[in-house]
Amino acid sequence: MIAPNSNIFQINTIYEKQSKRHLELTVDERLKYLKLLSDVIKSHENAIKKALHLDLKKHPTEAYITEIFPVLNEIQLFVKKLPTWLQPEIVANGLLFVGSKAYTQLEPKGKCLIISPWNYPFQLPIIHLIACIAAGNTAIIKPSEFTPNTNEILQKIVSLVFNEDHVAVVNGDATISNHLLSFPFDHIHFTGSTKVGKIIMAKAAENLSSCTLELGGKSPVIIDDKCDLDAMAKKLIFGKFVNAGQTCIAPDYVLVPNNRKNDCIAAIRKAILDAFGETIQQNDNLSRIINIANHQRVVQLLKDAKLAGANIVFGGNYDVSDLYIEPTVITDIPEDQPLLQEEIFGPILPIISFDTVKDAVSFIKKRPKPLAMYLFTNQNKWLEYFKIKTSAGALVVNDVLVHMMHPNLPFGGINHSGIGQSTGWYGLKDFSHQKPILESSKLLSSTSKIGFPYKSKIEKLLKFLI
């Protein structure tokens, strides 16, 4: 039975309970919750896989790779590192503070709201909850209403680990989200579209709530003039077609030198057929589009581009009754087409050729800064050029997607692709207030040197220190 939508009274009660909770969990208590969360997730792996298949037709292995493994891996990292991460960080003193003790200490921000999307409906709410709980906060999770089966198992797991005054899941549509945003949360973590992210940020500003926005954008793939196209294509089609392209860091379009365009298309075509076979719709490795509305949106992007003169060189078939869209490769797209202006969020891969590296950079810079950029090259001159000339949430060389699972790298965007950083140490810091603490020396207090009554020697002393 799918969990029912939450009502306003229930939400108000949960918020009131969490507001009264004292945020005084020790490190050991936080670790105990994280370990229990890991155990409960492991005991419900099959149920999670089943729910993800019902909502998105995810293959069980894809469900584990993209939804369950990242969460368990993140918990393992926090269990190992949290005691060290929560230690005070001593900072150096200047001459004015000789004898004082200065350090920073992470403290909980307080009441947190985690709003998560439908494309990775288990991984995203839990992976941010890990950092939130490790930081000592309370949390209300609002998942997308488009994944009711996953929401049910999400709510069950959360209820087995936490009391409602600590962590709770509330279900419902945009009306519920709007009601939640009226509360003065201490921190809001949102994952979703740039359009909705702007609304979240405006709502957060009304209560001066800090917020982290994980958005999206058009993440480019750049192919140099020498890289192995077959090796590139195998990685590219995984990054593009996992979860049917419904990934915020999915490659959104490919930039390839003019003289390699045909060879690049041939390599991508071969990689798709090797992965899915000739009868792709019958292959259970390919997920489906989340719902009819999004299916229609992606198909319309394809139709508009085709009418404008674009050339479909592979795929192009779809079946609305099955929410299926065939992996599609398309070229010769007029630059004003929505397919090259909007985030695709579906299994369509535009190929754009360029004359010079400068032209490729110019094409990228015409669009808002992306969440990720993928460069396939073994040439240092290409790497240095794109490191200096472009800006993105992350730059990944000779691979796709995997940077989000690196234990010591932050995940996040820049400007339109996001604000703030998540996962690992950066996620902990995101859900914490880094409080500066100064224990002034009794004998060498700074104010005893510069306080009332003012004397001419004070200014001389400060100039000496400068």
Look at residue 459 and tell me whether its pLDDT is greater than 70.
yes
What does the pLDDT average to over 394-410?
A: 95
| CA 333 vs CA 164, 337, 340, 367, 368: distances in Å | 51, 7, 8, 16, 19
**56 lies in a domain?**
yes
What does the pLDDT average to over 201-207?
A: 96
What is the CATH number for 356? 3.40.309.10
User: 305 near 333, Cβ under 8 Å?
Assistant: yes
- Which of 62, 214, 326, 343 is catalytic? The answer is 214
**155 lies in a domain?**
yes
Asked if the bond preceding 453 is cis, omega within 30° of 0, the reply is: yes
Q: How far apart, in whole angstroms, are the C-alpha atoms of residue 367 and residue 417? A: 11
Q: What is the pLDDT of residue 327?
A: 98
Which amino acid is present at 22? H
pLDDT in tens, 119-137: 999 999 999 999 999 999 9
Q: What is the pLDDT of residue 451?
A: 76
Q: Which domain holds residue 87?
A: 8-215+416-435
Residue 214 annotated among the catalytic residues of the structure: yes
Residue ranges of alpha helices (H) inside 162-211 are 174-180, 194-206
pLDDT in tens, 358-392: 999 999 999 999 999 999 999 999 999 999 999 99
Residue 211 annotated among the catalytic residues of the structure: no
Q: What is the pLDDT of residue 297?
A: 97
Q: How far apart, in whole angstroms, are the C-alpha atoms of residue 453 and residue 419? A: 46
Look at residue 271 and tell me whether its pLDDT is greater than 80.
yes
What is the CATH number for 168? 3.40.605.10
Please indicate, yes or no, whether residues 158 and 27 belong to a single structural domain of this protein: yes
Please indicate, yes or no, whether residues 163 and 291 belong to a single structural domain of this protein: no
Confidence of residue 49 (pLDDT cuts 50, 70, 90): very high
Q: What is the pLDDT of residue 22?
A: 81
Please indicate, yes or no, whether residues 199 and 227 belong to a single structural domain of this protein: no
Element (H, E) at 365: helix 357-365
**177 lies in a domain?**
yes
**41 lies in a domain?**
yes
**210 lies in a domain?**
yes
Q: What is the pLDDT of residue 129?
A: 98
What does the pLDDT average to over 50-79?
A: 97
Please indicate, yes or no, whether residues 370 and 423 belong to a single structural domain of this protein: no
Please indicate, yes or no, whether residues 172 and 53 belong to a single structural domain of this protein: yes
Q: What is the pLDDT of residue 40?
A: 98
Confidence of residue 96 (pLDDT cuts 50, 70, 90): confident
Please indicate, yes or no, whether residues 249 and 321 belong to a single structural domain of this protein: yes
Q: What is the pLDDT of residue 3?
A: 67
Q: What is the pLDDT of residue 95?
A: 77
**Beta carbons within 8 Å of 297's beta carbon, 6+ residues apart:** 346
Please indicate, yes or no, whether residues 87 and 184 belong to a single structural domain of this protein: yes
Q: What is the pLDDT of residue 444?
A: 76
- Where is average pLDDT lowest: 73-77, 249-253, 455-459? 455-459
Please indicate, yes or no, whether residues 237 and 140 belong to a single structural domain of this protein: no
How many Cα atoms are found within 13 Å in the side-chain-facing hemisphere of 372?
Answer: 25
Identify the DSSP state of 65: I
Q: What are phi and psi of 252, to 5 degrees?
A: -100, -30
User: 209 near 185, Cβ under 8 Å?
Assistant: yes
Q: What is the pLDDT of residue 1?
A: 53
Please indicate, yes or no, whether residues 362 and 244 belong to a single structural domain of this protein: yes
Angle among Cα 372, 298, 360 to the nearest 5 degrees reads 40
What does the pLDDT average to over 243-254?
A: 97
Confidence of residue 2 (pLDDT cuts 50, 70, 90): low
User: 160 near 132, Cβ under 8 Å?
Assistant: no
**444 lies in a domain?**
no
Please indicate, yes or no, whether residues 388 and 420 belong to a single structural domain of this protein: no
Pairing outcome for strands 311-314 and 328-331: antiparallel
Q: What is the pLDDT of residue 445?
A: 76
Closest CA to 233 of 262, 266, 261: 266
Q: What percent of the chain has pLDDT over 90?
A: 89
- Which of 248, 264, 326, 343 is catalytic? The answer is 248
Q: How far apart, in whole angstroms, are the C-alpha atoms of residue 433 and residue 210? A: 10
Confidence of residue 302 (pLDDT cuts 50, 70, 90): very high
What total of structural domains would you count in the chain? Answer: 2
User: Quick count: other Cβ atoms within 10 Å of Cβ 228?
Assistant: 12
Q: Positive or negative, the Cα torsion across 78, 80, 83, 88?
A: negative
Q: What is the pLDDT of residue 324?
A: 98
